[in-house]
Structure 1
Amino acid sequence: MEFYFLGTNAGVPTIQRNVTSIALRLLEERRSMWLFDCGEGTQHEILRSPLKLSRLEKIFITHLHGDHLFGLPGLLSSRAYQGGTAPLTVYGPPGLKQYIELSLGISQSRINYQLHIVEHTGGVLFDDGQFRVESALLDHRIDSFGYRIVEMDKPGKLNQELLERYGIKPGPIYGKLKRGESVEVEGGVILHPQDVLGSPKKGRIITILGDTRPCPNTVVLAQDATVVVHEATFLHELADTAYEYHHSTALQAAEAAKAANAGQLILTHFSSRYKDQEQLEPLLEEAKSIFPNSLLAEQHVLLPVPDIG
């Protein structure tokens, strides 16, 4: 599980940074990729990356401001030309379906794969037993949502040495034990999963927040998260400006991560007044003064999601 940032700027693109889009690569977990927001130019950034649109399974839109979704119609219409024929689901606030259908309809774009559009107002959006995705409303000029991605715990490793003593080789019995089923082996012995499985591997939690002022739901969504991705549009010296425009400062992002007992904080969605990486360093220093395990998102840099334990 890895983050790949395709855009880290707020509002408008600059030469240095594109507007918001975050890829979550789940190659080991489900051989797919999820996308969070799709600002203008996202498909161009994907072409410059190791990411493949053919693996794109889900898109989550935080809110309907242009810097978070103007790249969506182009990406959807181009996906099939890059081998993307599997079904794709797009989640987002009410109004998303009208935007997509109107854009694709007027441009007579042809989508030759199943496209599902799910509008929501928060709650549990998806749960397949491997991952659960929840959403909650934040505090922005329009409805803006954060997403909490919960990876379910995985069964512990099988004690192969013990299984070999019972004459059990890799095969269907291994699968049954991993699924929590008891099995009967030679001699009428009943093996229970807890007899041969190690401790479960704790699943990770990822929180990706849309544009927001500080609000209770940032902490609710980020509670005990392995990684929190939080906007940090301004330095705290511009806290009044951040409040006026319904955004957060780097310091406020760090306060939310600390209050939520998160493991790591990644800052993104930077104002274009901070021209380059050097000018972003003060935002990182500000966040680290409250929450030491903070990082700056950088475009075209892979950031692995840490394992737990």
Structure 2
Amino acid sequence: MKMWFLGTGAGRPNKHRNVSAIALQLPEPDSVWWLFDCGEATQHQLMHVPLKLSKLEKIFVTHLHGDHLYGLPGLLSTRSFDGGTTPLTVYGPAGLKSYIETTFALTGTMLDYELVVQELTEEKQAEICVDGPCRVEAGPLEHRVPCFGYRVIETDAPGPFMADKARALGVKQGPLFGRLKAGEAITLEDGTVVSPGEVTDGAWKGRIITVLGDTSPCEMAFALSEKADLLVHEATFAAGLEEKAHEFGHCTTAEAAIVARDAGAQRLVMTHFSGRYSNEELARLEAEAAEIFPNVTAAKDLSMLDIQRIHKPSAT
């Protein structure tokens, strides 16, 4: 999986960064991708990364503030011009469907694909979709308007294939190898059943990726972030400005680090920085968080993060 930070700023774009948008590219062979938030000019940012709108399958909107939403109508329209014909589903708070339908009605916009809008009303953490090896949960955060965080959970996959062991069990190289690699049990001509566990070394651990919307400190942030391989958390203000951050429904760098530490996350990426901070000051914000949670990065626009699977060997 790869994550592209298309916009890392809060409130409005500035010369350092665009407003909120994050793309998550799923594994090959399909390499489809999902989008988390769609601030103004997100489709312009996409011109600088190797992602095609025709491969976009899902959009997860955290809340209806403009810096997370104003780029959505244009991007949905452009997807038709870029060859997008497959269905696309947009998830987000109540009012999202009305926003899209009203904008399209007033502008006469027509799409060449099926658009499904699923509004979230859950008051607790809940599963909202399952797509192949990934399922997504959402939960309400603490902000000035209804706002959600999202947790992507990938299932484990069979570990490295041991061809020699398969041959020793009588499996002929060819399609049967492929079925075993895909996690499917096979039956040989003599009736012997060979399971993937017999010819693979453990498993590739499924990744957990949490993307939180704007939030003040809350229990749901910890729940959605539990044991995440990657936590993307807003850090609108520097440490020491907690009162100001909470006034506007946000967090500081220190508070983001506390969530990562106490939730048992493996890695923290901070984003949604106030325009008062230049890119040169991000190192200082990163250092503040690192005092609490060392494995932290302050995201910059158009940066990419490769999220690797972890191999769990078979017990010996």
TM-score range (shorter-chain normalised) is: over 0.9
Please say if 1:203 is aligned against 2:234: no
Distance in structure 2 (CA, Å) of the matches to 1:17 and 1:213: 22
**8 Å Cα contact 1:183/1:191 also seen in 2:** yes
SS in 2 for 1:237: coil
Contact 1:226 1:306 in 2 (8 A): no
Structure 1 position 184, deviation (Å) = 2.8
SS in 2 for 1:141: coil
SS for the counterpart of 1:207 is: strand
- Equivalent position of 1:35 in the other structure: 35
Deviation at 1:171, TM superposition (A): 0.4
1:148 and 1:207 in contact (8 A); partners too: yes
Q: What pairs up with 1:1-309 in 2 under 5 angstroms?
A: 1-28=1-28, 30-122=30-122, 123-165=126-168, 166-172=170-176, 174-175=178-179, 178-186=182-190, 188-274=191-277, 276-309=278-311
Q: What residue in structure 1 maps to residue 314 of structure 2?
A: none
Deviation at 1:83, TM superposition (A): 1.8
Which AA in structure 1 matches 2:31? R
Q: Which has the higher helix share?
A: 1
The answer to whether the 8 A contact 2:136-2:153 is kept is yes
Q: Percent identity?
A: 46
Offset of residue 303 of structure 1: 0.9
1:253-298 superposed Cα distances (whole Å, 9 cap, x missing partner) = 0000001000000000000011x21122221111000000000111
Structure 1, unaligned runs of 5 or more: none
Deviations 1:25-70 (A, max 9, x none): 1152642110000001111111222221111111000000000000
2:180–2:195 Cα contact (<8 Å) kept: no
- Amino acid in structure 2 at the alignment position of 1:13: P
Q: 1:47, 1:182 → 2: CA distance? A: 45
Contact conserved, 2:37 with 2:60, CA < 8 A, in 1? Answer: yes
CA 1:204–1:77 in 2, change beyond 3 Å: closer, same or farther? same
Cα distance in 2 for partners of 1:263, 1:295 equals 12
Q: Distance in 1 between matches of 2:289 and 2:29?
A: 31
| Distance in 2 separating the partners of 1:156 and 1:50 | 29
Per the TM alignment, residue 158 of structure 1 is displaced from its structure 2 partner at its CA by 2.9
Structure 1 pair 86/129, CA: closer, same or farther in 2 (3 Å)?
Answer: closer
- CA–CA separation in structure 1 for the residues paired with 2:276 and 2:178: 57
State the distance in 2 between where 1:104 and 1:272 align. Answer: 31
1:2/1:24 contact within 8 Å kept: yes
Q: Secondary structure at the match of 1:31?
A: coil
Q: Residues 122-141 of structure 1, C-alpha deviation per residue, up to 9 Å, x if partnerless?
A: 42111134001000000000
Tell me, which stretches of 5 or more residues in structure 2 are unaligned?
312-316
Report the Cα distance in structure 1 between the residues aligned to 2:297 and 2:39, rounded to whole angstroms: 22
- Cα distance in 1, alignment partners of residues 5 and 49 from structure 2: 10
Closer, same or farther: CA 121–185 of 1 in aligned 2, 3 Å: same
Do the aligned residues in 2 keep the contact of 1:63 with 1:210 (CA within 8 Å)? yes
In 1: Cα distance, 2:270 partner to 2:231 partner: 9
Call closer, same or farther: CA 1:277–1:197 in 2, change over 3 Å. same
> What RMSD over aligned residues (CA atoms) do the two structures have, in Å?
1.6
Q: Is the 8 A contact 1:176 1:183 kept in 2?
A: no
- Given that residues 228 and 266 in structure 2 are in contact (C-alpha distance below 8 angstroms), is that contact kept between their aligned partners in structure 1? yes
Q: How many residue pairs get matched?
A: 307
Q: Which moved more, 1:188-197 or 1:137-146?
A: 188-197
